Amino acid sequence: MDVWLLHVLNGISYGMILFLIASGLSLILGVMGILNLAHGALYMLGAYIGLTLASHVRNFWVVALLGGIVIALFGLVLERVFLSRLYRQMNEQALLTLGFVYIIGNVVLWVWGGWLKVGSAPSYLATSIAIGEFSFPLYRFALIFIGLLVAAALYWFQEKTRAGAIVRAGMDDKEMTMGLGINYGLVCSAIFFLGAFLAGCAGFIGLPVIVANWEMGFPMLLMAMIVVVIGGMGKVQGALLGAIIIGIIDNLGKALFPDLAMFTIYLVFIIILLVRPSGLLGRKL
């Protein structure tokens, strides 16, 4: 019984990392209509930049925030210099981000090398607590906590603030929003900044749990895409639900039938796409 709880908790904590990545992806997709194929690469870059910063800055959380901001700025440059030139051309924008996947991946390989990098949790979280006869890392609990905190913050932003209302309006009807005098370009940049920030942070704080390597970007992007579709595009709740579900399936799957885990996830993905493309909690399209 305890071993199940362990797997579920592992799944949820992993799901929180997924959530951070997927929520950014979902926002960018919902507001700008762009599938940011480089989102996984941003996550990976966040991990590596964070690692480098960590050797100079003591505080774990400061590093996480700083790393996130660096990635966010990078994302902003990407959006302002490149993406905004292809205004409204969804296909071309997705392709552009694809180009950056290649660039970022190779740069990371170049600068940091191809060896796996492990990150460590801050010392006060580096212990484990007992669950039955197993020990569960305290840091994973911290991850769950952080994830829920971010989810709550995003939800509040989405539902309770004027800025959030603008973002939601932008998702529904871009022309109307622009017609109301809201600077759509500014909204896009802000959203991209936020999404990149979340991905970058996720990269670093995920390190104690996920080993970093220069190829981890794209698989993570695929997982995030699956989360967004299953949970429903555009809403924070959807990303959270989807992330938790996928996290649990992934962990249970790896424990029970390791060879088929990925398979199952893709199968579920395709089924949801066919049966209910708007996702479990998404706005019915």
Partner 1 sequence: MVKANPKIFRQAWQEKLVAYAPYILLSLILIIWPPFMSPYVKSMMIQILIFGIFALSLNIIFGYTGLFSLGHAAFFGVSGYTTAILMTSYGIESFWLVAPAGIIMATLLAAIYGIIALRVSGIYFLFVTLALGELLYGVALRWRTVTGGSNGMPGIPYPTLGLPFTMTATYFYYLVFALFIICAFLIYRLIKSPFGYALQGIREDEHRMKHLGYNTWLYKYLAFIVGGFFAGVAGVLFAPSSSIMVPAHLGALTSTLVMLMVIIGGTKTFFGPVIGAAIVLFLQYYVSLYSPERWPLILGAVFVLSVTFLRQGVGVYVLRLWNRVRYSYGSIKD
Closest CA to 194 of 214, 237, 164, 159: 164
Measured from the CB atom, is 28 or 121 closer to partner 1? Answer: 28
Q: Which residue from 86, 138, 169, 178 is in contact with partner 1, where contact means CB under 8 A?
A: 86
Q: Which residue from 101, 187, 194, 249 is in contact with partner 1, where contact means CB under 8 A?
A: 101
Cα–Cα dist 32/167, whole Å: 10
Measured from the CB atom, is 224 or 248 closer to partner 1? Answer: 224
Q: Which residues between 230 and 269 bind partner 1 (CB under 8 A)? A: 259-260, 262-263, 266-267, 269
Contact 182, 188 (CB under 8 A): no
**DSSP letter string, 71-135:** HHHHHHHIIIIIGGGGTT-HHHHHHHHHHHHHHHHHHHHHHH-SS-B-----GGG--EEEETTEE
Please choose, out of 17-25, 27-35, 158-166, 189-197, the segment that lies near partner 1 by the rule CB under 8 A.
Answer: 27-35
Measured from the CB atom, is 114 or 132 closer to partner 1? Answer: 114
CB of 146 to partner 1, least distance (A): 28
Does position 152 interact with partner 1 (CB under 8 A)? The reply is no
DSSP H helices, the chain, are: 2-32, 39-54, 60-77, 90-112, 138-160, 162-172, 174-179, 184-205, 217-231, 236-256, 261-275
What are the structure tokens assigned to 25, written together?
A: 């992806």
Please choose, out of 1-9, 86-94, 126-134, 161-169, the segment that lies near partner 1 by the rule CB under 8 A.
Answer: 86-94
Per-residue x/- track, 169-208, partner 1 (CB under 8 A):
----------------------------------------
Q: Which residue from 69, 73, 76, 107 is in contact with partner 1, where contact means CB under 8 A?
A: 107
Q: Which residues between 64 and 83 bind partner 1 (CB under 8 A)? A: 82
CB of 223 to partner 1, least distance (A): 11
